[in-house]
Amino acid sequence: MKKMLKTSHDNKSSINILPLIDVIFFLLVFFMLFTTFRASPEGLDLQLPSAETVVEQPQENIVVNIDEQGQYSLEGDIMSLDEIRAEVRNTALEDGEIKEDLVVVINADENVSYQYLIHVMDGLRQEGIYNLALAAEREI
């Protein structure tokens, strides 16, 4: 008799997890490389070094004053906003270019409305002057 061929069909299925591990590793590396790490909104707590040979860079400052009534003055002379813009522009121009080290300091009374500050800042920016600073008194 013929031997009966016995065929067994073992249908054991197996899951090949190597591609899954590759995909997970790729995602891990991707997120590590392209995730931005944010600092706290307060900033970093740093103790900056001090130097004994500090040399201050000379900066040219123009001070625009605004009193409580909203009057503008430059170097003690009361002027309109257009006159302030023209005077600052003439002072700021050097060989047809705005001086880069020029800083316009706006010294406004603490009771003045914000609209006066914004008018000055907008007017100076329209003239191409972007280095602006607001003056404040230091509390002791």
pTM for this prediction: 0.54
List per-residue pLDDT tens for the chain, 140 residues long. 555 556 666 677 777 888 889 999 999 988 888 776 655 544 445 555 566 665 565 567 888 888 888 889 888 889 999 999 999 888 888 767 888 778 888 888 888 888 998 999 999 999 888 888 887 766 55
**42 DSSP assignment:** T
Output b/e per residue, 35-69; b: 16+ Cβ within 10 A. Answer: eeeeeeeeeeeeeeeeeeeeeeeeeeebebbbeee
How much is the mean pLDDT over the chain? 78
What does the pLDDT read at residue 12? 75
Q: In what order do the strands lie in the sheet with 102-108?
A: 77-79, 72-74, 60-66, 102-108, 132-134
Cβ 35 vs Cβ 27: under 8 Å: no
The tens digit of pLDDT for each residue in 29-66 reads 888 887 766 555 444 455 555 666 655 655 678 888 88
CATH class of 60-134: alpha beta
